[in-house]
Chains A and B, each alone.
Chain A
């Protein structure tokens, strides 16, 4: 090859340097844009904290976290946010009770039971549930569900008992009946034993259900906007998150585990309960955490349909009473507090926002760590 051809192919030093610099500048620019989202996180923490600190300076921590009198506009103003924290906790717990069992059952069904083409139909249902704006859920809770609860509360509660406990009790009857039959084997014939044991257990279960539902059907709900309403709606809202994340986790457990379990003679249910769920428990935990975050951070539904009463329910687990949450307090009180920017009434809302922020940050970090660890464990 001649010298001339060589030089025309290789860039001159200057051109090469220029290109390197341009390349570096470009990368720096890209990095800067990317880190904007990082800045955003810091800015959020900084600006929320900046307006939250004056509150703690003015009023201290003790009243805010431990007393139950919330009268921010009284004189002297009282900032006992305990009922609000409890209200948040109550609806979140309720939402989790709705979303987690349903969500895990649905995700198991999606990942292991349903054939591919049905899954293709169910997935959009979940996506639509996730996509419906929160204000539409809130509207449903306030305008449709609350009057229903108020007018037919007892009937709805007792129907709920049948729907929720019915299948579970049926399962328990079958299992316990079978176990007793197993013990009685050899003493009486299996057929006669079955004829005795199952009717007895069945009647017991139905009697239990009946007494529970008849007791509940007498309940009158004085206000449809209460913790129960909000919990159910929040549970439905958190459902898509729980389902999709835990389904990913179940899928990630892999084919080999399942086939190994089948090869040992386990049925599908046993495979899932004894092998797959334990193997993907961390992913499921992450799903639950994300569900909690969705429920805690939700504003519109609780603002519209929780009743917004800053009282501790009596007794504390009474979900039929109105409650108030952190998010709803921020959304509702800011309008009034805004006129007096700088007062403790204004800053207390930032203090609440900071509590929310800190909590969701910790939860998020926890779920990150859990997912990372589970990936390591599964060798991916």
Chain B
């Protein structure tokens, strides 16, 4: 090969490496951007009047007087559309009743003719009677036709109207004068402006999937709903709604930091994620309570006391095996051992979950503590031993303090790991819905936790699309917790390495 080519290849090789690094960075960005961007919208968003209503009625937050004033204005802005709906209902009823009275008139006339025809027959005037009967049949047919037309008219009017009614209720909340629905989610309209616009679109257009082309996937066809109400009192309704939606909902930029500290209402349709956050904190701290002493002591033993030999290398193999056990297997083990065998609690509980998680992070803590202890300069130890301190004394007063930042780094990283693990807590600690636990209840009660509820909300919740913002908010919170812990660890490590370099 020529020298130029070799040089070119060398550069190309460097290029490939740089591409790999770039791909990694881009992947990280691509994954974090939607989570951070849409996650932050759970906290900062345009809240409508309905959001303020939920806050006031469910969380006792906000100024009632100001709200009442605003709400009167909004009721005024909404009044025309409810009026139109009422008019439409009245109009429909009037039309139906006029058609019905027509039908009744024809029926009555037919009956009259029948009796008249019978009278004529008994008089022996068969010709005239036949004429009358023919007339009667015609009227009867007309009445029947009218009846079927009424039926048609009813379905043509009521079915779209019911759909519209439902869509409006979802958009603005229950109609004035309606009985308060039982479900909390039906008591309020859309609380967020972005969801309001989606729901507004659903009011304005009807959606249908067209599968007529069997080769391709279904195509979404949208038709303006106004077509269904051509020529009725509701015809101007849609334009009015579209033009005045802002006055009806009053979107206002809201900073809802209480998203983290609020309980959820009606399975996360309203409110925040406090039970999940608290559960995650309990589980993480619980895991640390068990894992830190065990891990640090094991590291001290392995570094300071153990003589390399068969037993120790066996121990090390066990530790690395423990590190390699898939997390779901930890979950099964926690179920089979902590819950089914030694029964630390009757049902799933934070305690069982913490114990399981502590086994999961144990190898990480042992390894990082070992590294930290080994990084303590030998001179420290020798100086302490030379001063006559015993081995235990040396460890406690010289080595551990010197290694503490390093050990803490490992602990913080494994806290992040424990906070984010889902598989081990599925069978041991997590439930989908629950109240925040008191500290003593953690011994016997299961808890909601961020990782599990993220899974649960985005796969099993009945209104997955409605609460995307809650899901993103949860993911954002979890990722923020974990990354902050890791950032802390990274900074701490940078300080240690600076110190060690002098």
Contact = CB atoms under 8 A, between A and B. Distances in A.
A108 B17 CA distance: 7
A134 interface: yes
Q: Which 8 A-B pairs have the closest CB atoms?
A: A133-B420, A297-B326, A109-B17, A105-B20, A269-B13, A364-B324, A299-B423, A34-B298
B305 interface: yes
Contacts of A128: 28, 483, 486
B482 A30 contact: no
A172 to B, nearest CB: 10
A109 to B, nearest CB: 3
22 contacts: A23-B391, A34-B315, A36-B298, A37-B362, A40-B359, A41-B325, A47-B341, A106-B21, A128-B28, A128-B486, A132-B420, A132-B483, A134-B423, A139-B458, A140-B34, A220-B217, A270-B6, A297-B329, A304-B458, A304-B459, A360-B325, A365-B321
Contacts of A142: 458-459
Give the interface centre of A40, A236, A357 by most chain B CB atoms within 10 Å. Answer: A40
Interface stretch (A61-69, A174-182, A209-217, A316-324): A174-182
Contacts of A365: 317, 321
A334 interface: yes
A113 B14 contact: yes
Interface string B5-28: 111111011111111110111011
B329 A41 contact: no
A49 to B, nearest CB: 10
A273 B454 CA distance: 44
A136 B333 CA distance: 24
Contact of B328 (A38, A175, A220, A297): A297
Interface stretch (B143-151, B399-407, B471-479): B471-479
Contact of B10 (A133, A269, A299): A269
A328 to B, nearest CB: 9
Contacts, number: 277
Contacts of A167: 12, 15-16, 19
A110 B305 CA distance: 36
Interface residues of A, number: 95
A16 interface: no
Given A179-B1, A296-B326, A140 B35 contact: yes
B333 A178 contact: no
Contacts of A203: none
Contacts of B374: none
B41 to A, nearest CB: 14
A77 B383 CA distance: 70
Contact of B325 (A108, A109, A273, A357): A357
A294 to B, nearest CB: 9
B422 interface: yes
Given A134-B422, A269-B14, A129 B24 contact: yes
B483 A331 contact: no
B28 A129 contact: yes
A377 interface: no
Contacts of B328: 297, 299, 327, 330-331, 353, 356
B324 A37 contact: no
A327 B251 CA distance: 45
Interface in B328-345: 328-333, 335-337, 340-341
A178 B359 contact: no
Interface string A224-268: 000000000000100100010000000000000000000000011
B320 interface: yes
Contact of A327 (B319, B326, B459, B482): B326
Give the interface centre of B300, B314, B326, B330 by most chain A CB atoms within 10 Å. Answer: B326
B400 to A, nearest CB: 13
Contacts of A222: 217
Nearest to A328: B328
Interface in B436-472: 451-452, 454-455, 458-459, 468, 471
Given A135-B475, A142-B458, 17 more contacts: A30-B300, A128-B28, A128-B483, A132-B32, A133-B421, A137-B31, A140-B35, A143-B468, A178-B1, A179-B1, A182-B2, A236-B31, A269-B6, A297-B326, A299-B326, A353-B332, A360-B326
A284 interface: no
A195 B245 CA distance: 67
A31 interface: yes
B110 interface: no
Contacts of A23: 390-392
Contact of B305 (A27, A38, A144, A300): A27
Interface string A287-317: 0001001001111100110000000000000
Given A133-B422, A182-B2, A299-B328, A267 B9 contact: yes
A127 interface: yes
A51 B335 CA distance: 11
A104 to B, nearest CB: 8
B359 A26 contact: no
A209 B458 CA distance: 38
Contacts of A80: none
Given A128-B28, A174-B9, A361-B321, A139 B333 contact: no
Contact of A34 (B2, B297, B341, B416): B297
B9 A239 contact: no
Contacts of B300: 30
Nearest to A181: B2
A47 B336 contact: yes
B426 interface: yes
A138 B455 CA distance: 8
Nearest to A239: B24
A170 to B, nearest CB: 8
Contacts of A34: 297-298, 301-302, 306, 315
B363 interface: yes
Contacts of A334: 332, 335, 426-427
Nearest to A101: B20
A111 to B, nearest CB: 10
A50 interface: yes
A299 B329 CA distance: 10
A272 interface: yes
A137 B421 CA distance: 12
Contact of B416 (A131, A290, A298): A131
A106 B17 contact: yes
